[in-house]
């Protein structure tokens, strides 16, 4: 089965979040199930710099303001189709933001072009004769692909994955023509969303199947609390919505072979990495757990609540090392915490190698997200025996077994879950963490459980393959 995966980012070539990890992992996860995946990716400067050889397999004149090409290439073990459109993608900055930190003003057209290219590949194929059986789009950036397919290549089946429904690709209605959306489709049962165009809503209404990145998040999306205004659309399509849990790259995240750390096979092997981590962050020794946060600093991640709950950790011998960046007010608040507490250290920004060293050296990772479609850092934590302390939401709820009295007694706990997510409950959770850490027998058992927990793509790959097969059989 031939699948075209359409993504605005793909690890390890270009990454701002978990979407990239999924796009990068799917080809290898699906290969054992007879699925051949090509990934359609914009030709950002960072992507083009990592590709040695390319072949032009399609030309795309008049592509949303200029000419474009489809380039076939391989990189990092991925079979790629690169949308080479310099007028849209050859820019400094991130995939979505300019150097000033603001959205590119033509983002609606930039990613409409990505969706349009996916449709053309599905309808016409590329020069080597390759045509996909299924187009699998990711998030709003590929949201118009199912719409274009229904209008221009109705024989091609489509899947749209929701990685985070908070981002919906909104645009004013005067851009209908520039986004190649027929004006007759600007209504509540198609592209219109409270007076605006929504690329994500358009995709949700036109794709044959919908997925999201954990079973719990799939259920949460049907509620007003988590549906972000699209819960009605998803309730109408609940029979076509499935939650498939993300996995992680077990080779890239492997405590036995990780080149960034002193490798280990058992929880006891963490000790030298813990010492190194304390030194790297300038943290003192302590009787409590060494905790980490590796996160974007946004309200979604609940890190404002963690500031209020910190005394439960710092007053019980715990330490915290934080790596992240995001909202300026949260960056400032965390820098103030580091200045106030000797056992809190903050590094602003993101460093992939440092994140590996943090996972290897820490006792626990704190993830108090208000919502979390899947989450990957808790999976990294489990893999490295770094106990996750998480909010009971989305994929966090699906992957962490709570250290309740019953969970500890049964010997199955892998972490702690916090519910409801308030500063007081988080405070109590950190007290519980310190208590569990003080019992070496219980703590070692939890670490062993965590490191044995399945966090790879085996079952998820099979679930995607089954979904593709059902779609193909329905033609």
pLDDT, tens digit (0-9, with 9 covering 90-100), for 406-460: 999 999 999 999 999 999 999 999 999 999 999 999 999 999 999 999 999 999 9
Neighbours of 50 (CB within 10 A): 13
Q: Is residue 260 in some structural domain?
A: no
Asked whether residue 281 falls in the same domain as residue 165, the answer is no
pLDDT given for residue 176 in this prediction: 98
Q: Determine the average pLDDT of the residues in 200-214.
A: 98
State the total domains in the chain: 2
pLDDT given for residue 17 in this prediction: 83
Q: Confirm whether pTM is higher than 0.85.
A: yes
- Four-point Cα dihedral 233, 235, 238, 239, nearest 10: -100
Asked whether residue 165 falls in the same domain as residue 237, the answer is yes
Cβ contact 386:378 at 8 Å? no
Say if residue 210's pLDDT is above 80. Answer: yes
In which domain, by residue range, is 384 found? 267-452
Lookup: tokens for 392: 């009971």
Asked whether residue 241 falls in the same domain as residue 317, the answer is no
pLDDT given for residue 188 in this prediction: 94
Alpha-carbon span 363 to 232, nearest angstrom:
42
Asked whether residue 54 falls in the same domain as residue 191, the answer is yes
Using a 10 angstrom Cβ sphere, with 0-12 exposed, 13-18 middle and 19 or more buried, the burial of residue 228 is: middle
pLDDT given for residue 236 in this prediction: 97
What tens digit of pLDDT does each residue of 304-359 get?
Answer: 999 999 999 999 999 999 999 999 999 999 999 999 999 999 999 989 899 999 99
pLDDT given for residue 361 in this prediction: 97
Say if residue 93's pLDDT is above 90. Answer: no
Alpha-carbon span 227 to 265, nearest angstrom:
41
Say if residue 267's pLDDT is above 90. Answer: no
Cβ contact 99:92 at 8 Å? yes
Q: Is residue 58 in some structural domain?
A: yes
**Does residue 227 or residue 269 have the better pLDDT?**
227
CA distances from residue 312 to 60, 320, 404, 427 in whole angstroms, order as listed: 59, 12, 18, 6
Q: Determine the average pLDDT of the residues in 250-268.
A: 90
Asked whether residue 220 falls in the same domain as residue 276, the answer is no
Asked whether residue 300 falls in the same domain as residue 415, the answer is yes
Helix axes 352-361, 271-281, angle to 10 degrees: 130
pLDDT given for residue 128 in this prediction: 81
Question: Which of 3, 16, 26 is closest to 77 using CA atoms?
Answer: 26
Lookup: tokens for 270: 């963490």
Q: Is residue 102 in some structural domain?
A: yes
15 is in an annotated binding site: yes
What tens digit of pLDDT does each residue of 296-307 get?
Answer: 999 999 999 999
Asked whether residue 377 falls in the same domain as residue 394, the answer is yes
| Residues 6+ away with beta carbon under 8 Å from 332 | none
Q: Is residue 191 in some structural domain?
A: yes
Question: Which of 102, 95, 178, 183 is closest to 140 using CA atoms?
Answer: 95
Q: Determine the average pLDDT of the residues in 96-121.
A: 96
CA distances from residue 223 to 93, 209, 214, 229, 408 in whole angstroms, order as listed: 35, 19, 15, 9, 32
Average per-residue pLDDT in the chain?
A: 96
Percent of the chain clearing pLDDT 90 (strictly above): 93
Asked whether residue 38 falls in the same domain as residue 141, the answer is yes
Q: Is residue 258 in some structural domain?
A: no
Q: Determine the average pLDDT of the residues in 275-291.
A: 97
Alpha-carbon span 318 to 286, nearest angstrom:
6
Asked whether residue 96 falls in the same domain as residue 214, the answer is yes
CB burial string 271-289: b at 16+ within 10 A, e below: eebeeebbeebebeebebb
Question: Domain holding 425: CATH number?
Answer: 3.40.50.2000
What tens digit of pLDDT does each residue of 127-173 get?
Answer: 888 999 999 999 999 999 999 999 999 999 999 999 999 999 999 99
């Amino acid at each position: 089965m031939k699948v075209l995966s359409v993504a605005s980012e793909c690890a390890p070539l270009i990454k701002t979040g978990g979407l990239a990890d999924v796009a990068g992992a799917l080809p290898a996860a699906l290969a054992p199930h007879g699925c051949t995946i090509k990934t359609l990716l914009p030709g950002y400067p960072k992507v083009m710099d990592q590709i040695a050889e390319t072949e032009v397999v399609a030309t795309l004149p008049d592509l949303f303001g200029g000419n474009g090409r489809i380039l076939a290439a391989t990189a990092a073990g991925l079979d790629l189709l690169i949308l080479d459109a310099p007028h849209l993608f050859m820019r400094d900055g991130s995939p979505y933001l300019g150097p000033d930190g603001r959205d590119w003003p033509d983002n609606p057209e930039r990613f409409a072009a990505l969706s349009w290219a996916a449709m053309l590949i599905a309808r016409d194929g590329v020069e080597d004769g390759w045509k996909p059986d299924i187009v699998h789009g990711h998030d709003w950036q590929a949201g118009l692909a199912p719409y274009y397919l229904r209008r221009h290549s109705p024989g091609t089946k489509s899947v749209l994955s929701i990685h985070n429904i908070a981002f919906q690709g909104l645009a004013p209605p005067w851009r209908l023509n520039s986004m190649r959306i027929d004006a007759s489709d600007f209504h509540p049962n198609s592209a219109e969303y409270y007076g605006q165009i929504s690329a994500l809503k358009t995709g949700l209404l036109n794709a044959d199947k919908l997925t999201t990145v954990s079973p719990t998040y799939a259920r949460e999306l049907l509620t007003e609390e988590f549906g972000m205004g699209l819960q009605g659309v998803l309730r109408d399509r609940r029979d076509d919505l499935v939650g498939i849990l993300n996995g992680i790259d077990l080779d890239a995240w492997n405590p036995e072979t990780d080149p960034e750390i002193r490798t280990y096979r058992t929880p006891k092997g963490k000790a030298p990495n813990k010492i190194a981590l304390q030194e790297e962050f300038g943290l003192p020794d302590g009787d409590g757990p060494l905790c980490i946060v590796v996160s974007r600093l946004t309200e979604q991640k609940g890190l404002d609540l963690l500031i209020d709950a910190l005394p439960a950790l710092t007053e019980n011998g715990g330490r915290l090392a934080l790596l992240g960046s995001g909202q300026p007010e949260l960056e400032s608040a965390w820098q103030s915490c580091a200045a106030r507490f000797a056992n809190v250290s903050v590094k602003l920004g993101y460093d992939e190698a440092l994140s590996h060293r943090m996972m290897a050296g820490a006792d626990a990772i704190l993830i108090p997200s208000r919502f979390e479609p899947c989450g990957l850092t808790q999976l990294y934590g489990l893999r490295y025996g770094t106990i996750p302390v998480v909010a009971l939401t989305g994929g966090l709820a699906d992957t962490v077994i709570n250290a309740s009295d019953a969970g500890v007694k049964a010997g199955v706990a892998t972490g702690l879950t916090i519910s409801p997510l308030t500063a007081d409950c988080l405070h109590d959770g950190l007290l519980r963490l310190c208590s569990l850490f003080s019992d070496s027998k219980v703590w070692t058992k939890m670490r062993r459980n965590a490191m044995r927990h399945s966090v790879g793509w085996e079952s998820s790959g099979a679930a995607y393959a089954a979904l593709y097969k059902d779609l193909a059989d329905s033609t």
